[in-house]
Amino acid sequence: MNDDIKKGLLGIVVDETEVSKVMPEINSLTYRGYAAQDLCEYCRFEEVAYLILNKDLPNSIQLKKFEREERNNRELTKNLYEIIKHMPKKSHPMDVARTAVSVMGLEDKETTDSSHESNMRKALRIFAKTPTALAAFYRIRKGKKIIKPKKTLSFAENFFYMCFGKVPQKEIVKAFDVSLILYAEHSFNVSTFTARTITSSLSDIHGAITGAIASLKGPLHGGANEEVMHMMNKIKKPSNALKWIKNALKNKEVVMGFGHRVYKSGDSRVPTMREYFGKVAKIKKDKKYEKIYDIVEKVMIKEKNIHPNVDYPTGPTYHLMGFDTDFFTPIFVISRITGWSAHIMEQHAANKLIRPLASYKGNRHRKVMQLNQR
């Protein structure tokens, strides 16, 4: 292979961004300069969503306005509800999310307007409506009645309410809020780069987010949290964990939830998410997954010097909260819409068509023979 080729664009800087960065000097992922773990401690998810979209944390007046606009835009059209009702029950919820956002684009009167002001309004609508679409499908595939959004509830509370018909204790809501904050943004990851690539052709925000969702579905990106839960279900109980991970490493199997291209000495989001995983496990009085988690993590670090990424604690946390495994990545979506939207608008602001080159390795020039001579 040509040494000049950087497979996966490894190490290639393709553009500039103000949205987020992993800052080595503080060993932390930062959003607009704020450490993600500090945001988890002091802010609700709505404040962080505002920060990512508007470049700074809101004051109380700005936050109330933002929350009011988000809550007023949660409802879906009758048409979209009907489409969701007729989706195959066995559809993956990520495909539902992708299709729902695409339909929102068909229904949005500002679809063709990609001005910053219009994109801000559309971003808020996509952000507000996508959880409603996913929760509607969550209910429908279980044969239950759709629960409409409630304006008196926070973003996190409302999603629980629409899925389960009730809001859990505040500690569970806080843990969910933390997961949304940690998933909200992560610079030029695969789905974000997909969104920016689509945007670079001057396509619309609904199309860019639809493409980003398709990218996030993959198990090497957002789908990893689901794969972590599948792995833990294979292990079944803590007493099996050591043997399972040893065999996996011996057979050179990929252990999901470990390693990250950006972090070399551990994902800075993990300690915070691990703390809230423990809190949820304690509330639910279920320590099984924590024990499996600790055994597998210890072996991976000792044997391979590979640390967990944020998907590793998030998967079992969502499971303990009561969500179906295939809904873990869609939860990632409802958070990451904020980051994608910020990057889409940043791309528009200083756009250059993203069009890399490829090194050709096919046949040399060949002459076309007529059909009767082939």
Is residue 177 within 8 Å of 47, Cβ to Cβ? no
Among candidate residues 204, 242, 9, 180, the one with its CA nearest the CA of residue 125: 204
Alpha-helix runs per DSSP H in 201-321 = 205-216, 224-235, 238-250, 270-284, 288-299, 311-321
Please give the Cα distance from 239 to 171 (Å, whole number).
29
Measure Cα distances from 246 to 225, 240, 292, 303, 310 in Å: 21, 10, 13, 9, 22
Place of tokens 């996996």: 248
Q: Which residues are catalytic?
A: 221, 260, 311
Distance of CA 113 to the CA centre of its chain: 26
Please give the Cα distance from 28 to 19 (Å, whole number).
14
Alpha-helix runs per DSSP H in the chain = 36-42, 45-54, 60-72, 78-85, 93-107, 116-140, 155-164, 170-183, 190-200, 205-216, 224-235, 238-250, 270-284, 288-299, 311-321, 328-349
Distance of CA 317 to the CA centre of its chain: 15
32: left (phi over 0), alpha (psi -120 to 50) or beta: left
Please give the Cα distance from 15 to 34 (Å, whole number).
21
Which tokens is 296 given? 């597998």
Beta carbons within 8 Å of 40's beta carbon, 6+ residues apart: 178, 181, 182, 272
Please give the Cα distance from 233 to 240 (Å, whole number).
11
**CA torsion, points 252, 255, 258, 259, in degrees to nearest 10?**
30
